[in-house]
Structures are given as C-alpha cells and as structure tokens.
C-alpha cells in the first residue's frame, strides 16, 4: 500500500450501556464507518486515503467522532449521511466543515 495523503480515524469504541462516558459505538458508528468506506470507493480514493476504525478518541459525549490527519482535525456528532460531505469538502476541497468541528473545550 502506498503512503496515504490522508488518514481518517472513525471511533468505533463500544462500552456497556449505562457507562458514565458513553461511547461512539452506541451512535451508529458501524454505519458511519461503512459510509466512509463507500464514499472512498465511489470516488476511487482507496490508497490515497486510509480509513481506520479506532478505539476512544476522547470526547465521548460528542460522538460519533472522526479524526483526520494531516492536521489533527476532529469532527464530532457525525452522522453516516455526512461521510460523503466530509470526503468532498475536507479531503477533496481542503475546506473544514466548521459546524462539525469538535469544540476546543472538549478536545
């Protein structure tokens, strides 16, 4: 595999129901991961963009969380239908999606 230009980390951490921190896994992260995967395939970006499911990224109360490198940009409260927009706007156009950026007080 060639060195990717971008790396997208999707938190898929699951904790038991009622856990005080909650978890992204309880917020449709399986569907979110699949949506990112499909968006990358449809745009022929496999190899240029790496996609990884990861454990806790930190701001569990703001999940589902997505972290993109380079730049260490974290998006929170991400829904599966927003994956394509993140690919189009952030990865392909280089523009941040400001209404989904994780607030500084959380991360």
Q: Domain limits of the chain?
A: 11-50+80-99
pLDDT computed for residue 95 by the predictor: 97
pLDDT in tens, the chain (107 residues): 679 999 999 999 888 888 878 788 888 889 999 999 999 999 999 999 999 999 989 898 888 999 999 999 999 999 999 999 999 999 999 999 999 999 999 98
66 to each of 49, 69, 74, how far by Cα in Å?
14, 10, 6
pLDDT computed for residue 1 by the predictor: 66
Reported pTM: 0.93
pLDDT computed for residue 63 by the predictor: 81
What H or E segment, with its residue span, contains residue 68?
A: strand 66-69
């Amino acid at each position: 595999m060639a060195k990717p230009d971008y790396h997208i980390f999707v938190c898929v951490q699951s904790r038991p129901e009622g856990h005080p921190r909650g978890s992204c896994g309880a917020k449709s992260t399986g569907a979110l991961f699949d949506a990112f995967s499909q968006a990358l395939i449809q745009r022929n970006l496999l190899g240029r963009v790496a996609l990884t499911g990861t454990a806790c990224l930190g701001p569990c109360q703001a999940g589902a969380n997505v972290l993109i490198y380079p730049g260490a940009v974290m998006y929170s409260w991400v829904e599966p239908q927003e994956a394509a927009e993140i690919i189009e706007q952030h990865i392909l156009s280089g523009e941040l999606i400001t209404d989904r950026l994780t607030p500084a007080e959380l991360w």
